[in-house]
C-alpha cells in the first residue's frame, strides 16, 4: 500500500518464500509504480532473507522493520487487511475469494476515505475509476485537455498536497512508573507459549530509550522492542537497602544477684558477688520495595541470660 495515496495492492501467491515475494514486488509494484523510497515490512523470514537485502541494495530503497509482535507499528496495512477480509466474507462464496478479489480491489480503490475525503484512485490518477454504475448512467462529454497542460496542472496540485494525519489525538497507554529509569527490563512473550513457560523473558539491558520503543542488548545483538511489551526488572543491586549494623549484645548495668543460697558458705573479703547480666539480641529492621517497614512482634524477640 502506498502511504500517501492509500493505493492498495493484493496479489495471490502460491507460497511466501523470499523468491516469490521478490518476484511479486518486481513484476507487480515496481514495474507499474516505480521504485519506492522506503518499504515498511514486518520481520518475516522472506523479508529478512539475503535475497531481499540484495534487491534493496540493487534498487536503492530503504527498508524499515516494524517491532516484533506489535501490529500497531504498521496500522495502515493492518486496517486494510481487516477491510479486505470483511469484504471477502460478505460475498456469496467466501471460499472462492480468488475469483472475487479483483472486483473487491476495484471497490476498495474507488471508495472515498474519511481521512483524505477522496478515494485512492483520485489521488493516484486524478479522477475516480469507472464503475459498473457509470456505464448505465449517461455521462456528459468533457472537453479534451492538452496533455502537457494537464501534466503541469496535475504537478502543481500534487505539490500543494500535504499528508494528513489519520489520528490527530494521542491515546494514552499505561506504562510502569519505573520504565524510564530502570537499567533492565522484561519482555512479554506474545507468541503461543509452551505449557509452564514463563510469560516474560529476560531481563535484558536497556541501551537506548525512545517514546515508542527501547533498544535492548539481547544476547550477542541489539534489537528494538515496543515499549508496550516491556516492564521494569528489579535486580538485586536496584533495591534500596538500609545499611544498619545489628547490635547483637547490650550489656545491662551490674546489679547484685537476688538469688539466695540455702547452704551459705564463708567467703573471703576479696570474693565478688555473683552478678546477672541480661543480653538482648536486636534484629535489623527491613524495608520493602514500596517503602513499608516490617515490624516484627516483640514477643518473638528473645532475651538471653548467659551464665
Contact 38, 64 (CB under 8 A): yes
Q: Within this chain, do residues 128 and 227 fall inside the same structural domain, yes or no?
A: no
Top-confidence residue, 74 or 166: 74
pLDDT recorded at residue 143: 60
Domain harbouring 51, CATH code: 3.30.420.10
How far apart CA 192 and CA 69 sit, in angstroms, is 11
Q: Within this chain, do residues 98 and 226 fall inside the same structural domain, yes or no?
A: no
Q: Within this chain, do residues 146 and 22 fall inside the same structural domain, yes or no?
A: yes
Residue 64: which of 3, 127, 125, 131 has the closest Cα? Answer: 3
Q: Within this chain, do residues 70 and 39 fall inside the same structural domain, yes or no?
A: yes
Q: Does residue 203 lie within any of the structural domains?
A: yes
Q: Does residue 300 lie within any of the structural domains?
A: yes
Q: Within this chain, do residues 46 and 130 fall inside the same structural domain, yes or no?
A: yes
Q: Within this chain, do residues 227 and 249 fall inside the same structural domain, yes or no?
A: no
Q: Within this chain, do residues 138 and 192 fall inside the same structural domain, yes or no?
A: no
Mean per-residue pLDDT over the chain, rounded: 76
For residue 145 the three cell numbers come to 485537455
Q: Does residue 220 lie within any of the structural domains?
A: yes
Q: Does residue 172 lie within any of the structural domains?
A: no
For residue 58 the three cell numbers come to 540493487
How far apart CA 81 and CA 10 sit, in angstroms, is 10
Contact 103, 115 (CB under 8 A): no
Q: Within this chain, do residues 107 and 155 fall inside the same structural domain, yes or no?
A: yes
Percent of the chain with pLDDT over 70: 71
| pLDDT confidence tier of residue 6, bands split at 50, 70 and 90 | confident
Q: Which domain holds residue 299?
A: 240-255+275-307
Q: Within this chain, do residues 189 and 82 fall inside the same structural domain, yes or no?
A: no
pLDDT average, residue stretch 191-218: 84
pLDDT recorded at residue 257: 46
Cβ-count burial of 86 within 10 angstroms (0-12 exposed, 13-18 middle, 19+ buried)?
exposed
Contact 59, 31 (CB under 8 A): no
258-282 confidence digits (pLDDT tens): 444 445 445 454 444 445 555 555 5
- Total domains, the chain: 3
Q: Does residue 206 lie within any of the structural domains?
A: yes
| pLDDT confidence tier of residue 43, bands split at 50, 70 and 90 | confident
pLDDT recorded at residue 212: 83
Q: Does residue 4 lie within any of the structural domains?
A: no
User: pTM for the complete prediction?
Assistant: 0.55
In terms of average pLDDT, the best of 132-136, 181-185, 281-285 is 181-185
Place of cell 500500500: 1
Domain harbouring 212, CATH code: 2.30.30.140
How far apart CA 76 and CA 84 sit, in angstroms, is 12
For residue 51 the three cell numbers come to 535475497
Residue 257: which of 239, 272, 235 has the closest Cα? Answer: 272
Q: Within this chain, do residues 210 and 98 fall inside the same structural domain, yes or no?
A: no
pLDDT recorded at residue 23: 92
pLDDT average, residue stretch 232-261: 52
Q: Does residue 199 lie within any of the structural domains?
A: yes
Q: Within this chain, do residues 74 and 92 fall inside the same structural domain, yes or no?
A: yes
Q: Among 158-167, 177-186, 203-212, where is mean pLDDT lowest? A: 158-167
Percent of the chain with pLDDT over 90: 8
Q: Within this chain, do residues 50 and 93 fall inside the same structural domain, yes or no?
A: yes
Is it the case that residue 184 has pLDDT exceeding 60? Answer: yes
Q: Does residue 264 lie within any of the structural domains?
A: no
Amino acid at each position: 500500500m502506498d502511504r500517501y495515496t492509500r493505493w492498495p495492492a493484493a496479489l495471490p501467491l502460491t507460497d511466501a518464500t523470499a523468491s516469490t515475494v521478490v518476484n511479486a514486488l518486481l513484476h507487480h509494484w515496481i514495474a507499474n509504480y516505480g521504485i519506492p523510497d522506503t518499504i515498511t515490512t514486518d520481520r518475516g523470514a522472506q523479508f529478512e532473507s539475503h535475497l531481499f537485502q540484495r534487491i534493496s541494495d540493487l534498487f536503492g530503497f530503504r527498508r524499515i522493520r516494524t517491532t516484533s509482535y506489535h501490529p500497531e507499528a504498521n496500522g495502515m496495512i493492518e486496517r486494510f487487511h481487516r477491510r479486505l477480509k470483511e469484504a471477502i466474507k460478505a460475498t456469496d462464496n467466501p471460499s472462492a475469494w480468488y475469483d472475487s478479489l479483483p472486483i473487491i480491489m476495484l471497490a476498495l480503490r474507488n471508495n472515498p476515505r474519511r481521512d483524505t475525503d477522496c478515494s485512492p484512485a483520485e489521488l493516484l490518477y486524478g479522477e475516480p475509476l469507472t464503475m459498473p454504475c457509470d456505464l448505465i448512467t449517461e455521462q456528459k462529454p468533457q472537453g479534451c485537455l492538452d496533455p502537457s497542460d494537464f501534466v503541469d496542472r496535475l504537478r502543481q496540485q500534487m505539490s500543494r498536497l500535504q499528508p494528513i494525519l489519520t489520528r490527530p489525538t494521542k491515546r494514552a497507554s499505561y506504562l510502569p512508573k519505573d520504565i524510564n529509569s530502570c537499567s533492565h527490563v522484561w519482555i512479554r512473550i506474545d507468541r503461543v507459549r509452551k505449557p509452564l513457560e514463563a510469560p516474560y523473558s529476560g531481563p535484558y539491558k536497556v541501551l537506548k530509550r525512545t517514546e515508542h520503543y527501547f533498544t535492548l542488548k539481547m544476547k550477542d545483538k541489539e534489537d528494538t522492542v515496543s515499549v508496550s511489551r516491556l516492564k521494569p526488572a528489579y535486580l538485586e543491586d536496584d533495591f534500596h537497602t538500609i545499611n544498619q549494623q545489628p547490635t547483637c549484645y547490650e550489656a545491662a548495668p551490674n546489679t547484685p544477684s537476688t538469688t539466695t543460697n540455702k547452704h551459705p558458705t564463708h567467703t573471703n573479703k576479696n570474693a565478688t558477688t555473683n552478678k546477672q547480666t541480661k543480653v538482648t539480641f536486636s534484629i535489623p529492621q527491613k524495608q520493602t520495595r514500596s517503602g513499608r517497614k516490617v515490624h516484627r512482634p516483640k514477643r518473638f524477640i528473645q532475651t538471653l541470660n548467659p551464665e
